[in-house]
Amino acid sequence: MEKLIIRGGKPLNGDVFISGMKNSALPVIFGTIAAGDVCTIGNIPDVSDIALAFDILRSMGAKVRFINTDTVIIDTTNVMRKSPPLEYVSKMRASTYILGAMLGRFKEAQVGYPGGCDFGTRPINQHLKGFELLGARVAYGGDGNINVTASEGLKGNFIYFDIASVGSTINVMLAAIFAEGTTVIENAAREPHIVDTASFLNACGADISGAGTSMIRIRGVKKLHGCNYTLAPDMIEAGTYMAAAAATNGNITVRRIIPKHMEAVTVKLREIGLSIDVGDDYITVNSNGAYRGTEIQTNPYPGFPTDMHPQFTAMLCLSNGISKITERVWDGRFKYVDELLKMGADITIDEGSVIINGIKHFKGAAVKASDLRAGASLVIAGLAANGETTVTGIEWIDRGYEALVDKLRMLGADIQRVEY
């Protein structure tokens, strides 16, 4: 087992280069199943979720080969119609994308019920509703598998999502690319990773328009082919470093990003009094000391991202005012609060919101990550704290942050990863 040891109180300064977006990489990697050919994907982040996705693809008969540190060649010509091992699938929510990709290409799919970060209930009823509206039949096998079949093929349809769900939008898009006729998804999620996935599928010969808006149109095609594609940068990784700059009174430039993706985060940092410089492919956050509290509601894109909620709580604990973050996406996202309280935070949870009273500083403590973004929140608190903080449960952090210790050290952090 490994843990992080952080000696806090040092302002972070300098440039950090952002990796490819994990939440784009996952649907694109599983989307190669639909291509049934050779795809070269660039800007792949080196994080454990991606390694697991490659293991799942290999277990299904795909060939996966890195040609350099962040570019991979995936050949899914001979992917078998078999369900990947349950012990893989149960670790990661994004393995649900296998359902859409297999259903699209093979008109049948079988995947174990997905796992992933535990925020309470994480249903997939909207995914399955979309598949049924395309003409598929859904059955739950006694072995924990979900079986989706469309023996008469898939037919385009009008699909309205009750919730602008990222996973449902992507999964139905993956299934609909081969459906006969046209599919319209209404109330689609608009995240940049939806656009990335649609752009990848179009590069493979799909006919998708409207990705990034709430209405996506997919005209069915007969077959896809391989392509070369480069992923967008990770907006949540970038936002995490921006919050760390604020919390440590530092001056950080996040590079190789798409500033438009960061607007909700940038607006909030400006609102609390930080100076922000936005360039073509970078943003500089300069925190020269005190900043105000604020109110935030998390919402689907382009709203404030739920995946930035825990990191902003850690940062706002050090504001000179009172803040409130209302979580409107995941009802179980608050586990990180107990760990911040161990570090001296003054936070109460009230009906789906955290109320944050500013404190002078965190005290270093032994804390444990319960999910990916909770872990990021504890690292930010440790970087700002007086004294030493140890963070365990860092396998959660490894799922979504490439080379976290190296990148933080380059910014002046006193952080190390040790066995224990």
- Beta carbon nearer to ligand EPZ, 50 or 247: 50
Beta-bridge mates of residue 241: none
- Return the residue matching tokens 């760390």: 244
Q: Are strands 282-286 and 251-255 parallel, antiparallel or unpaired?
A: antiparallel
First to last CA, the chain: 6
106 SS3 class: helix
CB of 24 to ligand EPZ, least distance (A): 8
Q: Per-residue x/- mask for ligand EPZ, residues 346 to 375, rule CB under 6 A? A: --------------------------xx--
- Beta carbon nearer to ligand EPZ, 26 or 356: 26
Q: Are strands 322-326 and 108-112 parallel, antiparallel or unpaired?
A: unpaired
CB of 189 to ligand EPZ, least distance (A): 6
Q: Is 117 a catalytic residue?
A: yes
Segment contacting ligand EPZ (CB under 6 A): 4-12, 121-129, 246-254, 358-366?
A: 121-129
Q: Which of 117, 204, 227, 317 is catalytic?
A: 117
Q: Per-residue x/- mask for ligand EPZ, residues 241 to 280, rule CB under 6 A? A: ----------------------------------------
Candidates 48, 248, 253, 306: give the one binding ligand EPZ (CB under 6 A). Answer: 306
Q: How far is Cα 211 from Cα 227, in angstroms, rounded to an integer?
A: 19
- Note whether 411 binds ligand EPZ by CB under 6 A: no
- Beta carbon nearer to ligand EPZ, 276 or 378: 378
Q: Per-residue x/- mask for ligand EPZ, residues 35 to 74, rule CB under 6 A? A: ----------------------------------------
- Beta carbon nearer to ligand EPZ, 107 or 373: 373
Q: How far is Cα 411 from Cα 408, in angstroms, rounded to an integer?
A: 5
DSSP class per residue in 377-410: HHHHHHHHSBSEEEEE-HHHHTTT-TTHHHHHHH
- Which 162-191 residues touch ligand EPZ, going by CB under 6 A? 163, 165-168, 189
Which residues are CB-contacts of 287 (< 8 A; sequence separation ≥ 6)? 245, 246, 247, 248, 249, 250, 251, 274
The four Cα atoms 107, 113, 118, 124 give a dihedral, to 10 degrees, of 50
Q: How far is Cα 67 from Cα 346, in angstroms, rounded to an integer?
A: 48
Please give the positions annotated as active site: 117
Which residues in this chain contact ligand EPZ in the complex, by CB under 6 A? 23, 26, 93-94, 117, 122-127, 163, 165-168, 189, 306-307, 329-330, 372-373, 400
